[in-house]
Amino acid sequence: MAKKTGLLLLAEGAEEMEAVITVDVLRRAGVLVTVASVGNSNIVTCSRGVKIQSDETLSDATKGKTYDVVILPGGLGGSEALAKSEEVGGILKDQLKGDRLIAAICAAPTALKAHGIAEGKKITCYPSMKDKVEGAYTWVDEKVVIDGKLITSQGPATAYLFGLAIIETLIGKKEALTVAKGMLCGDYK
């Protein structure tokens, strides 16, 4: 069985916890995650001033490649950058056309709305962003919401559950439970 692949889109102002925790959780399950910077630099300054080095720039990471899941971490500045990027919009539309998974956390569902991705689905996001996504989506007040090939989550403290939901969807419940147990994540059932 081929390894599952993921692409995490990292833009200036991204929420570092959501990015790093999601990548870490997925890699524990053997998902081959590429961290791609949106922009020309491989060094991205996140919302709390933490600098993260990406594996590749987004344009390099997507040349002739598709991924099983494309992941958008939140953070207000990062989400705004994702929303403004035509390249990100194209990747998300291709992901949707290919019936592949899209996952967004915190403020990142606003970028989905900006690109017209999966409108009409049930989603969640950071509660103060609810008014920015309502109308295009049905907002649900839960830590993680899965609606078909779309996974959304509320914020930094839910990043572990977000990563585990991606694992469950990509690989299966058994693997997600194994990873959760290894991390002592008792919230995941």
Give yes or no for a contact between 11 and 78, defined as CB atoms under 8 angstroms apart: yes
Range of the domain at 103: 5-182
Annotated catalytic residue 46: no
Predicted local distance difference test score (pLDDT) of residue 1: 64
Instruction: Tell me how far apart the alpha carbons of residues 139 and 5 are, in angstroms, rounded to a whole number.
Output: 28
Measured in whole angstroms, the distance separating CA 27 from the mean position of its chain's CA atoms is: 14
Residue 189, domain member (yes or no): no
Instruction: Tell me how far apart the alpha carbons of residues 84 and 61 are, in angstroms, rounded to a whole number.
Output: 19
Residue 119, domain member (yes or no): yes
Catalytic residue among 46, 106, 125, 185: 106
Residue 187, domain member (yes or no): no
Structure tokens at 55: 């594996």
**What is the tally of structural domains in the chain?**
1
Instruction: Tell me how far apart the alpha carbons of residues 31 and 51 are, in angstroms, rounded to a whole number.
Output: 23
Predicted local distance difference test score (pLDDT) of residue 2: 79
- What's the pTM value of the predicted model, to 2 decimals? 0.97
Residue 188, domain member (yes or no): no
**Domain CATH for 88:** 3.40.50.880
Predicted local distance difference test score (pLDDT) of residue 189: 81
* Site of tokens 């069985």: 1
Residue 170, domain member (yes or no): yes
SS (H, E, C) the chain: CCCCEEEEEECCCCCHHHHHHHHHHHHHCCCEEEEEECCCCCEEECCCCCEEECCEEHHHHCCCCCCCEEEECCCHHHHHHHHHCHHHHHHHHHHHHCCCEEEEECCCHHHHHHCCCCCCCEECCCHHHHHHHECCEEECCCCEEEECCEEEECCHHHHHHHHHHHHHHHCCHHHHHHHHHHCCCCCCC
For each successive 10 residues of the chain (189 residues), what is the average pLDDT? 92 98 98 96 96 97 96 97 98 97 98 97 97 96 98 97 98 96 88
